[in-house]
């Protein structure tokens, strides 16, 4: 092997190296530009659990109350309404709740029905205050005051 051939080989090696280097540069340049133009989104709000499809109807944080009504949701602003809002507007509109009237047992039955058929979770310690609120504020409407009872025979219940 002559000295000339060695030189040529060295030059070829250098050329290959520099081509590789420029290609790498170009590739990274393209990658960086794409990342800048279309930044990846790490938004987790599209999780499928209903608990994460939180309602965008209104902000639960808004506390504006007018004439005893929580303005953003229209719920009666009584003790526990935040809990109902937080829990019961996750799968359907809070309108579904507001449009209904029931006794405590009636509300309990609806909750059990949703738990059995609609994937509603166990409400845990929230169930009691939720039922209290619903049965107090969304009870079957009275159609006026009933007449006083007369001639009642009182008796004691035995246990
Ligand atoms: C896991 C999802 C989910 C949650 C949370 C949920 N519901 Fe429901 N609920 C449903 C579905 C589904 C329906 C039936 C579909 C519809 O009517 O839009 C329904 C229907 C209802 C109805 C109508 C029942 C009828 O007879 O038509 C009422 C009232 C109701 N829900 C109240 C509540 C209350 C009160 C809460 C909070 C304790 C609540 N929901 C939380 C899923 C849910």
Q: Is the CB of 97 under 6 A from ligand 1?
A: yes
Q: How many domains in the chain?
A: 2
Residue 52 above 60 pLDDT?
Answer: no
pLDDT tens for 80-139 read: 999 999 999 999 999 999 999 999 999 999 999 999 999 999 999 999 999 999 999 999
Residues 135 and 89 in one domain: yes
Q: Is the CB of 119 under 6 A from ligand 1?
A: yes
Q: What is the pTM of this model?
A: 0.62
| C-alpha to C-alpha distance for 51 and 96, rounded to whole angstroms | 17
What mean pLDDT do residues 51-72 have?
69
Q: Is the CB of 100 under 6 A from ligand 1?
A: yes
**pLDDT greater at residue 17 or residue 155:** 17
* Confidence bin at 36 (pLDDT 50/70/90): confident
- Give the helix ranges, DSSP H, for the chain: 3-37, 81-88, 94-98, 104-117, 127-137
Whether 107 is covered by a domain: the verdict is: yes
Residues 83 and 26 in one domain: no
Whether 51 is covered by a domain: the verdict is: no
Whether 68 is covered by a domain: the verdict is: no
Q: Measure 114 CA to ligand 1 centroid, in angstroms.
A: 6
Q: Is the CB of 90 under 6 A from ligand 1?
A: yes
Residue 49 above 90 pLDDT?
Answer: no
Percentage of the residues of the chain whose pLDDT score is greater than 90: 59
What is the CATH number for 80? Answer: 1.10.760.10
Residue 143 above 50 pLDDT?
Answer: no
Residues 34 and 79 in one domain: no
Whether 48 is covered by a domain: the verdict is: no
Residues 79 and 137 in one domain: yes
Domain that holds residue 109: 75-141
- Nearest-atom number in ligand 1 for the CA of 99 is 29
Alpha carbon dihedral 116, 77, 85, 123, in 10-degree steps, equals -40
Residues 84 and 131 in one domain: yes
Q: Measure 96 CA to ligand 1 centroid, in angstroms.
A: 7
Whether 85 is covered by a domain: the verdict is: yes
Residues 30 and 86 in one domain: no
Whether 121 is covered by a domain: the verdict is: yes
Q: Is the CB of 87 under 6 A from ligand 1?
A: yes
Please enumerate in sequence order all residues whose Cβ is within 8 A of that of 50, keeping only pairs 6 or more positions apart, or say none: 90, 91, 119
pLDDT for residue 148? 61
pLDDT tens for 79-97 read: 999 999 999 999 999 999 9
């Amino acid at each position: 092997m002559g000295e000339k051939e060695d030189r040529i080989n060295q030059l070829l090696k250098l050329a290959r190296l520099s081509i590789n280097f420029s290609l790498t540069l170009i590739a990274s340049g393209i990658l960086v530009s794409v990342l800048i133009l279309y930044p990846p989104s790490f938004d987790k709000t599209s999780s499928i659990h209903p608990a994460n499809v939180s309602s965008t109807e209104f902000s639960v944080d808004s506390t504006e109350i007018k004439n005893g009504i929580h303005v953003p949701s229209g719920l009666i602003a009584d003790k526990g309404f935040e809990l109902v809002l937080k829990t019961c507007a996750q799968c359907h509109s809070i309108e579904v709740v507001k449009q209904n009237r029931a006794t405590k047992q009636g509300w309990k039955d609806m909750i059990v029905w949703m738990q059995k058929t609609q994937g509603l979770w166990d409400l845990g310690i929230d169930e009691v205050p939720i039922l209290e609120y619903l049965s107090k504020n969304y009870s079957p409407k009275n159609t006026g005051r009933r007449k006083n009872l007369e001639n009642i025979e009182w008796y004691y219940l035995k246990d």
